[in-house]
Amino acid sequence: MKLSSPLLSFLVNFLLGASWAFAFAGATIFFYIFLEIAIFYAIFGALLGALPGLFFVLLIEYFLIKHEQLTELRKQTKLLEELVTKSL
């Protein structure tokens, strides 16, 4: 993904990767903790352990979508302003 500055792009990509790692680590840890009890509880615990990381993934993806929408709206506004000035 291409953002307005390389630093912002690096930061967003880093946070996205860290969120996926957090989701994977949470799922793995909770799976092995509850594996001693039963496999059903282990799978359910893995899903619960992955939720915080997945929440952050969704939050960052939402930010990226809104940022792309904003840049597209800025482009469209600039084009519309050019059309208005040419027609006058």
- Extract the tokens encoding 33: 């903790």
In which band, very low, low, confident or very high, does the pLDDT at 1 lie, cut at 50, 70 and 90?
low
Is the pTM value of this prediction over 0.85? no
Q: What is the Cα 14 distance to its own chain's centre? A: 11
What is the average pLDDT across 5-16?
88
pLDDT of 45 strictly over 70: yes
Tens of pLDDT along 54-78? 999 999 999 999 988 999 999 999 9
In which band, very low, low, confident or very high, does the pLDDT at 7 lie, cut at 50, 70 and 90?
confident
Domain range summary for the chain, segments of one domain joined by +: 7-87
What DSSP letter does each residue of the chain carry, written as one string? ---SSHHHHHHHHHHHHHHHHHHHHHHHHHHHHHTTT-HHHHHHHHHHHHHHHHHHHHHHHHHHHHHHHHHHHHHHHHHHHHHHHHH-
